[in-house]
Chains A and B, each alone.
Chain A
Amino acid sequence: MTAALILIAVFTLATAAVALSLRNLIHSALLLIASWFGIAAFYLWAGAEFVAFAQVLVYVGAVSMVVLFAVLLTRRSRADTVIARDSVERAISAVITGIAVFGVLVAAILKTSFARLSPAGVPPLQSGTGVSPVISAPTATVRDIGMQLMSAHAAALLIIGILLTVALLGAVVLAAQDAPESKQESP
């Protein structure tokens, strides 16, 4: 199991690193997508089936298209997709962004309590029972996740849904601002 984890980690990190170092934006984007695949594989390894497939469906299926379309629509010519090394300011801002994201992630990881899983946090044995408590990773079936999302976290789900809808409508309003065409041909 550990060997598989190392393999997945090396794959994910290597593709991400190569994606950063390549100068061709399309190649970078495709490698980034490969890295997302690695993350999905990690979720599968950790037993989170639903999250893994959702990751592939959303990231590889949808977000990848957004990234690739963005690259194609913002570049003027084919040669333009190969970007030159840029100014120092850009490097500094990139590093700052990276550190900020890293900080948020590390803070989130540190704040999560893994006490139930670490040996130090094993709850003391109940007196009289000779059975040691079995400590296992919490398992969540798709049904459990659905129940949680629809009951305890329903408000958060609705708010995110409304936020995304508003963003979608905003994007449509921004994009559809060209002059009205002369009477559109009927289908």
Chain B
Amino acid sequence: MTLPGPLTFLLQLPLSSAAGAADAFLERLPLVARDWVTSWLPEPWRWLVNSLLSIAIILSVFGLLFAYVTLAERKILGRIQNRPGPNRTPIPFTKLRFFGLAQPFADGVKSLTKEDVVPRGADHLLHFLAPVVLLAFSILTFAVIPYGRHLVPVELNAGVLYFFAAGAATELAVFMAGWASRNKYSLLAAMRALAQLISYELPLLLAWVPVVLVAGTLSTTEIVAAQAGWQFNVIPHWYVFTPWGAAGFAIFMIAALAESNRSPFDLPEAESELVAGHLTEYSGFKYALFFMAEYFGMIALSGMAITLFLGGWHAPSPYLEFIPSYVWFMGKLSALLLGFIWIRATFPRLRMDQLTRFAWKFLVPLALINLGNAAFWSLSFHWSGPFQILRWLISVLVVVGPFVLLGRKLSAGVAPRVYRYAV
């Protein structure tokens, strides 16, 4: 019996030892599937079809993830607010509801068929281009994230820099949306959104510099590789388990919340206070595109946080390595997204002045101190024995000390808050 080349893999049992994890069947499954699809093509065309395939897979996987994150968000928010959330959309032509699992598709059809209103005085071209530019750049950021051991769409020498360069163009789209609408409220809201984006760009960038400093590379695959290994087979060598890494991760996630306009930093389009900010004059599918770009940005920033601090696709323990790396990545991604949703449900919104003060007076100094902390960490890497404990102690102190002092100073006269009316 002869099978086509790639299918012989099916005959081998999915062996998985710690040593052979890189070659385990499930680990290689995406590559095998891709090679099987492209094997009928002549050699010179394969790279092109391979690239197109990875683009199509990224778009479909993250498109579906976007659809179901919106549903999960509405369901979880509903549960936290003691209501069921959307649960009535049936599978088309049947009466099967499945907890409203078809809801995202109903939403898609709704926004596609909605009338697309463009104000008469608007700058038509820019009004059209703003959501397109925003979505295009937020999709570009997916290119450098390592999704699994063998799953990196593009390997770049300066991958982390590419990611944040592509993310920087979102500010341009927000400005275009606000200006092209020819609505003074849109323009004012766009200015506020830009002030927020620029303020939080700084802590976001400063938060990942320590990782680059310690890993000694800007390539995402090498940063993930630098976090391999375990202490006593249970504590992984992820950067989040070092003092500077934990602080950097916290700063990064707070700045990521603000960069993706999520609650508690959702001032640009606070639905209960403003009309819709810079999206006021957008309707129909253009509005859906903005929405999509926001979620894509959130997913991409979470993916980058996983790559930089949470060990990328590495399993937390060698005993769990039989689960393929991309499953670990997706698990971590889901956990972070759930965290985003949970934060949205539980935190009250900040005021504009609190928002910028928090960025400039609290996050930026802490991020700068954290950079020094990481420099100390990488200079003292050869300390051993009791010095190792001293190293941890100093590093923890450098994180906790400024946090407490700065927090006390900034909240002097304000905190702790006394609730006079609500008992």
Contact = CB atoms under 8 A, between A and B. Distances in A.
Interface of A: 26, 30, 33, 49-50, 53-54, 56-57, 60-62, 64-65, 68-69, 72, 78, 141-143, 186-187
B165 interface: yes
Interface of B: 126, 156-158, 161-162, 164-166, 168-169, 171-172, 175-176, 179, 182, 187, 191, 194, 198, 201, 216-218, 351, 353-354, 357, 413-414
Contact of B161 (A50, A72, A186): A50
The 10 A-B pairs with the shortest beta carbon distances in the complex, nearest first, are A61-B168, A56-B165, A57-B165, A53-B161, A53-B165, A50-B158, A187-B354, A49-B158, A142-B218, A142-B158
B414 A186 contact: yes
Contacts of B413: 186
Given A186-B414, A187-B354, A56 B157 contact: no
Contacts of A68: 175
B217 A143 contact: yes
B175 A56 contact: no
The prevalent SS among residues of A at the interface is helix
B124 to A, nearest CB: 12
18 contacts: A26-B179, A30-B126, A49-B156, A49-B157, A49-B158, A50-B158, A56-B165, A57-B168, A60-B165, A61-B169, A61-B201, A65-B198, A78-B182, A142-B157, A142-B161, A187-B354, A187-B357, A187-B414
A26 B178 CA distance: 12
Contacts of B218: 50, 142
Contacts of A56: 165-166, 168-169
A47 B414 CA distance: 54
Nearest to B414: A186
Contacts of B162: 53
A49 B162 CA distance: 9
B176 A30 contact: yes
B416 to A, nearest CB: 14
A50 B414 CA distance: 45
B194 A65 contact: yes
Nearest to B218: A142
Given A68-B175, A78-B182, 6 more contacts: A50-B158, A53-B162, A56-B166, A57-B165, A61-B201, A187-B353
Contacts of B165: 53-54, 56-57, 60-61
Contacts of A78: 182
Nearest to B413: A186
A127 to B, nearest CB: 38
A56 B140 CA distance: 13
